[in-house]
Structure 1
Amino acid sequence: MTQSTPAAHDDEQRTYASVAQAAAEDPKAFWLGAAQAIDWVTSPTQALDDANAPIYRWFPDGTLNVCANALDRHVEMGNGERVALVYDSPVTDTVREYTFTALLDEVSRFARALADRGITKGDRVVIYMPMVPEAAIAMLACARLGAVHSVVFGGFAANELAVRIDDLRPKAVISSSCGIEKTRIIEYKPLLDEALRIATAQPEFSVVVQREQHRAELRDGFDLDYADLLAATPEGIDPVPVLATDPLYVLYTSGTTGKPKGILRDAGGYAVALQWSMGNLFGLQPGDTMFTASDVGWVVGHSYIVYAPLLAGVTTVLYEGKPVGTPDASAFYRVMDQHDVNVFFTAPTAMRVVRKEDPDAEHARTADLSALRAVFLAGERLDPDTYEWTTKTMAEATGRDIPVVDNWWQTETGWPIAANPLGIERLPLKAGSPTVPTPGYRLRVVDPAGNDVPAGTEGLILADLPLPPGTMASIWGDDERFVSTYLSTFEGTYLTGDSGYLDEDGYVFVMGRTDDVINVSGHRLSTGVLEAAIAGHPAVTECAVIGVHDETSGQSPRAFVVLSPNADPETISQELVALVRSEVGPVAALRRVDVVDALPKTRSGKILRKTMRQISDGEGDVVVPSTIEDPSVLDAMRATLSRRAE
């Protein structure tokens, strides 16, 4: 492989302004320079392929292997005994370390075991796993073979797994016998078996990681035991070179009603962007430690638990537990103390949960956080109150000024659109803002007609094309949908789907989604998925789900339903909560169902979800659209909510 050298634009005199300017004025030169930090089989000479604009592809003539960059090169550079991954599992009372050498050995042997069973470059593999090391190992093994992985969060129910299997048509599924919560064991194998029963597409085999807390019954001729496979595979396999534009993974995001929406990520652009982000945004260098309290089923887990830290030679902590309850609100602080964490990354919801149990942050003051340099919070809007509390907590616990950095991004972008670039220059923080656009992203705010609006005026947030490397390459199997969903609303731009504004200093303020997606504890859920489950109940004639403000989780789903005559509201409400849990999964967290006589609609039949949300959140000045069909329906809804409040 071509060995990496320092990027040409790196020097000690850099400022955010100079780096952002360089990325904006000549993005091709800028990202070719950043690409030098990656080891290539064939180094790219062309930065950008714009022949199919508005679909752009980065480094089209480069070849590499992402797994080799994450593991092999660190071993080859003599850093094999450095710790690559720490598995910290309070739910199983386990802490286990993997050096780069040990992790490479297991990844390489598992990759060979998959290859021996027919998995080759371009094949797809679904990974349905809890937060265990084998989840990361499976991802990296697929990357080593050039196979395309798709991780499905273990909290999703069988039918949600089935629609992803049908869309991706994988050759294999890798799963676990169970997931472990603080009070219960969730058997994964029955969920997988039910998903395969529902699905039309059928993989050729599955691999199951058997856990001692519960061992699953395996089907002869189809299910393979992970441990047995490794025991029978003493030798690993070399990494398979792929084009930079070849797919690395598919990750399904909100809007999975009807045909699911699989975000397609390519190999080369993603590796370059994540490598660049670790030093420049997070200020992390080889030998540092990053603790990202997320899940590999989400984009944050893909990017900042697995790929980015390992690419950069940074130790990553893979945590199987909760912010509280495993055992208490000290959990995160204990991990930071025990593993000398330099950067901690989690969701604002997690800090709200910790604050609720430990409002005076007594646990933080008893931990040794001397290694901590920064806290990053993302996954939803960081409200000023949580920002201030977290900042105060970290300052009191460390006696130092620890930056608490909001950062804004999406499954689609794969890495931050806006952040405080600590590795370049620490900028002043502003509560409620993720700071400034990341170099490479050129943001605009427009009105509904596409006209730029003045600073401080809220509108639709757009990003000019081409987007930087690492962002989505397309929607799996559907370029037309990719263009129509994200790239065609306003010519030459990417529609983020978020609203907000840029202030006079160029700081970004993101106020919320413009579509019907709710954000529960950092997890984006389409209201359509929840509504589809509720509408399946025979007593429901009409329904709408909205996200309402929740002090702990940011938003919580609230269902409004119209029932058939003679249906018992209390009974049906309980059944609907159970139904959503069964069909969508516990992550949906639906607890509130309000039975109403009718839903407010426009004359064209559109349900007024925004108006419903404003009423439910108790907003005083609710603007009722002039197109409403029957204003009395809103009055009845207010009366229903008032009775519930009493």
Structure 2
Amino acid sequence: MSLENEIDFIQKSESINPSKEYRAKSNVQSFAEYKAIYQQSIENPDQFWGQIADELDWIHREERVSEGAMPEFSFFPGSQINVCQNCVDRHANHPQRRNKVAIYFEGENGERRSFTYLQLYREVQKFSNVLLALGLSKGDVVSVYMQNLPETYVVLLSCLRLGIIYNTVFAGFSPEALRDRIVHSHAKVVICANASYRRGKILNLKETVDAALRDEHPVQHVIVYSRIKDMQVSMDPMRDHDYDELMRCASPVCEAIPLDCNDPGLLIFTSGTSGKPKGIVHAGGGFLLGTYAYSKYQLDLHDEDIYWNTADIGWLTAHIFVLVGGLALGVTTIIYEGAIDYPHQARVYEMIEYYQVNKLFSAPTAYRMLMKYGEDLAKKYDLSSIELLASVGEPLNPEAWHWIYRVVGGNRAVINNTWGQTETGGTPLASLPGATPMKPGSCGVPFFGHRLDVVDQEGHTVPVGTPGFLVIRTPFPALARDVFGDRERYINNYFAPMPGTYFTGDSAVCDQDGQYWVLGRIDDVINVSGHRISTMEMESSLISHEAVMEAAVVAKPDDIKGTVPIAFVSIDTTYTANEELSRALQRKIVADIGSFAKPERIHFVNVMPKTRSGKIIRRMLREIIEEGTVHGDATGLEDSDILVTLIAEVNADSSHHND
């Protein structure tokens, strides 16, 4: 079907209501209740955010809730709060929570550890004193190059305690990617693990740090946590420090410092289309307010939950929904080191059964991976504890939605497919699990205090069911406050395209029930001979073929048709990449969508270029088919080594076709 038919599919999409049992214990229990709270929050956003603020601990609080408009806005100006105090201290000092497990840690190698809130409180205060002893203070920047470890959380919470701005770098990025972020942010300290486990391999992280610091840099100290105790790494006696030795000498008492709600709290880099990646700055207090609200209402987190968000700490999702949002709500959370399908394909199910996880948050790519591993594998484990399955990162196609609902969720769990960006610091679109009817493929409804709209090129609201540009018309606490060192880029990228709004760069449709369907980036709609085709729709068709593990579709310029679709496909190892399979996949797209959507070529590849969050970087695929290489920024890759392999595979495939 064409994009027009896809809109028809959206308008006729089925609705599945949450179960009565789930509704009964949800924070919002009906759609009517959601609509009433939402309407009030739009008419009086200060009242809503004031109520959220009432649930947090403040060091000093002014009456003003917000002032200004996009892009110059602030929340609780002049008020003082500390993120770490809200995530750790108030639970550690609570008699019913102090001995509650805050973090269960599971290593890829099978190691298991846990930290109570009281233990976390002690460790965070000790590391805060470590940072102070090295001369760090409010406003300084540190780069954190660590995997999912309890110590990583201790490091980040300590930074938040002292007003030190942290920047996490995915523990797998190349020396060049790490160096770019260190130099650009003027980081005074790098904190790293000596190594990490990834699919059974040992990655020498300290070696990467040393390579990143070979030339001139601003780093004064490197702190090294020995994840693998008997592994020897080089240590510069003038610069490098052992984490455990520093902690042994540190006092376990360190007061949280008062910070203005709008002070910078964290810095996260996103890949740029060209040139260097941009550093997105989030306000510490604003980030806390927003993530606390998102986590409470969209994940419906409660005291008794065992919650697992599979995101790596190098991805902002882990900061939103675990480090800050999850811990601020005092839940028990799981962090996992390594690949979630290693050492065996059922590792996710094994973890759910062992810990009795009731709320799981992962990426659509992970859910599609489970789907490809098959239903029989899931049946070997007790998944009856699961009550909610959330996703973010890419569109969750209806086929995968139905599969996880039936197989993992037992036809009773709530599926919450959300939408957000690094810049939004959370998910402005999501279901309210006990209140919102579920629609497979939908991203749910606008969150309280967020006024979203779908508009045309002039910024006018388009009719219901019409695709357009997704914008947000109201400022909200978790919205990014700057691009580090480049205010002009911040304004030009996000606010100049449509003044008075935050311009998301995504296309979307709002249906007759007020649910939003995000179709993808604006440039992810291909125009072939006048037919507008969503790349998501084509990819969904390919993924539903039993041979296909992953798929990405991009546009290639064509003199006659304007553009033509090119598909990149990774297949199951039990299938053979050949012309017969290529033609079968082309026929499937023709049958599902129409002859105009038939890919000009299907490239079979073993690897896809992905961000740390699991998103396929389609911009790189476009560059490869147009220019035979990648010229734009490549530092956002999860694995920088795959580009050489991918380019060689595509070029060889192209040569074969040309011959």
Cα gap change, 1:46/1:35 in structure 2, threshold over 3 Å: closer, same or farther? same
RMSD of aligned residue pairs (Cα, Å): 3.2
Distance 1:560 1:395 in 2: 39
Is 1:31–1:47's contact at 8 Å kept on the other side of the alignment?
Answer: yes
Q: Find the aligned partners of 2:205 and 2:359 in 1 and give their Cα distance.
A: 32
Q: Which residue of 1 aligns with 2:598?
A: none
Does the alignment pair 1:31 with 2:49?
A: yes
Q: Secondary structure at the match of 1:263?
A: strand
Whole-angstrom distance in 2 between the partners of 1:392 and 1:377: 16
Residue 67 of structure 2 corresponds to 49
Q: Answer yes or no: is 1:509 the counterpart of 2:517.
A: yes
Which AA in structure 2 matches 1:447?
A: D
The aligned counterpart of 2:490 is: 482
In structure 2, the CA distance between the partners of 1:584 and 1:381, relative to structure 1 (3 Å rule), is closer
Counterpart residue number, 2:104: 86
- CA shift, 1:76, in A, is 1.3
Report the counterpart of residue 309 of structure 2 in structure 1.
Answer: 292
| Amino acid aligned to 2:390 | F
**Alignment check: 8 A CA contact 1:395 1:401 kept:** yes
Would you say how many aligned residue pairs link Structure 1 and Structure 2? Answer: 552
Work out the CA distance in 2 between the residues paired with 1:15 and 1:81: 35
Specify the alignment match of 2:352 in structure 1.
336
Q: CA deviation at 1:465?
A: 2.8
* Of 405, 418, 421, the match for 1:407: 418
Structure 2 segments unaligned to the other structure (5+ residues): 1-26, 526-534, 544-551, 555-564, 572-607, 609-613
The answer to whether the 8 A contact 1:456-1:502 is kept is: yes
User: 1:203 and 2:222 equivalent?
Assistant: no
What is the CA–CA distance in structure 2 between the aligned matches of 1:448 and 1:213, rounded to whole Å? 60
Which letter maps to 2:130?
Answer: A
* Kept in 1: contact 2:429–2:446 (CA 8 A): yes
Tell me how far 1:643 sits from its aligned partner: 4.7
Q: Aligned partner of 2:429: which letter?
A: A
Mapping 1:560-575, distance limit 5 Å:
560=624
> Deviation per CA, 1:607-626, whole angstroms, max 9, x where unpaired?
xxxxxxxxxxxxxxxxxxxx
Which of 244, 249, 255 is residue 238 of structure 1 equivalent to?
255
Choose from 392, 401, 414 the match for 1:387. Answer: 401
In the other structure, the counterpart of 1:227 is: 244
Does structure 1 conserve the Cα–Cα contact (< 8 Å) formed by 2:33 and 2:435?
Answer: no
Query: Structure 1 CA distance, aligned partners of 2:394 and 2:317?
Result: 12
Q: Does 1:17 align with 2:35?
A: yes
The answer to whether the 8 Å contact 2:176/2:635 transfers is no
2:133 maps to which of 116, 129, 147: 116
2:9 aligns with none
CA separation in 1, counterparts of 2:483 and 2:197? Answer: 32
Aligned mates of 1:560, 1:278 — CA distance in 2: 39
| Structure 1 position 644, deviation (Å) | 4.0
Calculate the TM-score normalised by the size of structure 1.
0.79
For 2:196 and 2:240, the matched residues in 1 are separated by 18
203, 206, 210: which one pairs with 1:189? 206
Letter in 1 for 2:318: G
CA 1:645–1:501: 2 relative to 1, 3 Å? farther
- Bigger CA drift: 551-560 or 284-293? 551-560
Deviation at 1:270, TM superposition (A): 1.3
SS at 1:412 equivalent: coil
| Post-superposition offset of 1:318 | 0.6
- Asked if residue 99 in structure 1 is aligned to residue 116 in structure 2, the reply is yes
Which residue number corresponds to residue 634 of structure 1?
none
Decide whether aligned partners of structure 1 residues 548 and 464 sit closer, same or farther in structure 2, where only a CA change above 3 A counts. Answer: farther
Mapping of residues 68-467 of structure 1, within 5 Å: 68-78=85-95, 79-89=97-107, 91-198=108-215, 200-210=216-226, 211-212=228-229, 214-255=231-272, 257-324=274-341, 326-357=342-373, 359-360=374-375, 362-396=376-410, 401-422=412-433, 425-466=434-475
Q: CA separation in 1, counterparts of 2:241 and 2:80? A: 32
Contact kept, 8 Å, 1:560 with 1:594, in 2: the verdict is: no
Alpha-carbon distance in 2 for matches of 1:458, 1:152: 35
Return the offset for 1:580: 10
Alpha-carbon offset, residue 514 of structure 1: 2.3
Equivalent position of 2:508 in the other structure:
500
Alpha-carbon distance, 1:11 to partner: 8.7
2:594 counterpart of 1:586: no
Letter in 1 for 2:422: T
Do the aligned partners of residues 594 and 234 (structure 1) sit closer, same or farther apart at CA in structure 2, a change above 3 Å counting? closer
Question: Residue type of the partner of 2:222?
Answer: S
1:570 equivalent in structure 2? none
Question: Who is 1:491 aligned against?
Answer: 499
Cα distance, 1:328 vs. partner?
Answer: 1.7
The answer to whether the Cα contact below 8 Å between 2:393 and 2:615 also exists between their aligned partners in 1 is: no
* Aligned amino acid, residue 57 of structure 1: S
What secondary structure is seen at the aligned counterpart in 2 of 1:56? strand
Q: Determine if contact 1:374/1:404 at 8 Å carries over to the other structure.
A: yes
> Displacement of 1:589 after TM fit?
4.3
Deviation at 1:37, TM superposition (A): 0.9
Kept in 1, the 8 Å contact 2:387–2:409? The answer is no
Q: What's the secondary structure of 1:409's corresponding residue? A: strand
- Distance, in Å, in 2 between the alignment partners of 1:407 and 1:507 is 11
Cα distance in 1 between the residues matched to 2:98 and 2:640? 38
Structure 1's 214 and 342: CA in aligned 2 closer, same or farther, altered over 3 A? same
> How big is each residue's C-alpha offset from its partner over 1:364-413, in whole Å with a ceiling of 9 and x where there is no partner?
333233332100011111111111111111244xxx51112110001111
**3-state SS of 1:510 partner:** strand
The one-letter code matched in structure 2 to 1:23 is S
Q: Which amino acid aligns with 1:159?
A: E
Structure 1: give runs of 5+ residues left out of the alignment.
Answer: 1-9, 528-544, 564-572, 597-636
Structure 2 counterpart SS, 1:237: coil
Distance 2:111 2:424 in 1: 34
Counterparts of 2:653 and 2:568 in 1: how far apart (Å)?
A: 16
> Which residue does the alignment assign to 1:471?
479
Residues 46 and 281 of structure 1, relative CA distance in 2, 3 Å threshold? same
Distance 1:256 1:217 in 2: 36
- The code of the aligned residue for 1:103 comes to L
Task: Measure, in 2, the Cα distance between the counterparts of 1:515 and 1:230.
Answer: 49
Q: Retained in 2: the 8 A contact 1:205–1:223?
A: yes
CA contact (8 A) 1:107 1:138 kept: yes
Shift of 1:510: 0.7
**Are the equivalent residues in 2 in contact too, given 1:37–1:275 (CA < 8 A)?**
no
The Cα offsets for residues 86-137 of structure 1, whole Å up to 9 and x where unpaired, read as 1111x22211010001111111101101101111111111101112111111
Superposition deviation, residue 554 in structure 1:
6.7
- Paired with 2:175 and 2:413, the residues of 1 have a C-alpha distance of 42
> Contact 2:467/2:507 (CA < 8 Å) preserved in 1?
yes
CA distance in structure 2 between the partners assigned to 1:583 and 1:18 by the alignment: 41
- Matching residue of 1:538: none
Question: Structure 1 23/230 Cα, relative in aligned 2: closer, same or farther at 3 Å?
Answer: same
Give me the whole-angstrom Cα distance separating, in 2, the residues matched to 1:487 and 1:71.
Answer: 35
Distance across 2 between alignment mates of 1:217 and 1:173: 15
8 Å CA contact retained: 1:38, 1:271: no
The 3 A distance-change label for structure 1 pair 112 and 460 is: same
**Larger RCO: 1 or 2 (CA < 8 Å, sep 6+):** 2
TM-superposition CA deviations, 1:248-280 (whole Å, max 9, x none): 100001217434311111111111122222221
Q: Is the Cα–Cα contact under 8 Å of residues 330 and 363 in structure 1 kept in the other structure?
A: yes
CA distance in 1 between partners of 2:634 and 2:510 (Å):
39
